Amino acid sequence: MKETYTGRKAIRRDGQDHFAEVTVRASPGEAPSQVTLSAEAIEDLKSAFGEDFEYHGHNVWTAVMLQMNIANVAGEMPYVGATTFHAEVLRVRVSGNAGREVSGFLLTVAGMDAIGECLCAWEDERHGLMS
């Protein structure tokens, strides 16, 4: 499994291209599952959004936590479903403020994609170890 995973989401809105990238790392840990934002990720959000950074930080935190909690909902990831994880959001890149809702959407999807890739890799690794 790679050490870090980056999710990216782009959208064209009102004639402009906007994007968000979220980079995470995660490993199994004691319950309950946890998500933290690194100092660098917080600074990235402050730089992009000023005083509104907490709202967007919450979007990223929630996206990662939600994806960890529902990863095994279809029963396709039994090892992930039986494990709690500690995830850290390392970096956030976002193109200008596309507005609160669009930026929130981009960050949410990028965060879910990043942790989703991480959990899939971890699950695949477990299957390989158990084969």
User: Which residues have C-beta within 8 Å of that of residue 76, sequence separation ≥ 6?
Assistant: none
Residue 47 CB contacts under 8 Å (≥ 6 apart), including other chains: none
The identity of residue 108, as a single letter, is: T
Query: 96 in helix, strand or coil?
Result: coil
Q: Is the pLDDT of residue 96 over 80?
A: no
Give per-residue pLDDT as tens, 17-42. Answer: 999 999 999 999 999 999 999 999 99
Residue 98, pLDDT > 90, answer no
pLDDT tens sequence across 39-93: 999 999 999 999 889 999 999 999 999 999 998 888 899 999 999 999 999 999 9
pLDDT of residue 1: 64
pTM of the model: 0.93
Query: What gap in Å lies between CA 85 and CA 77, rounded to an integer?
Result: 14
Give CA–CA dist 124/66, Å, rounded.
Answer: 20
Backbone angles phi, psi at 2, to 5 degrees: -65, 165
Q: What is the DSSP string of 76-88?
A: S-HHHHT--EEEE
Structural domains of the chain, ranges and CATH numbers in brackets? 5-130 (3.30.230.10)
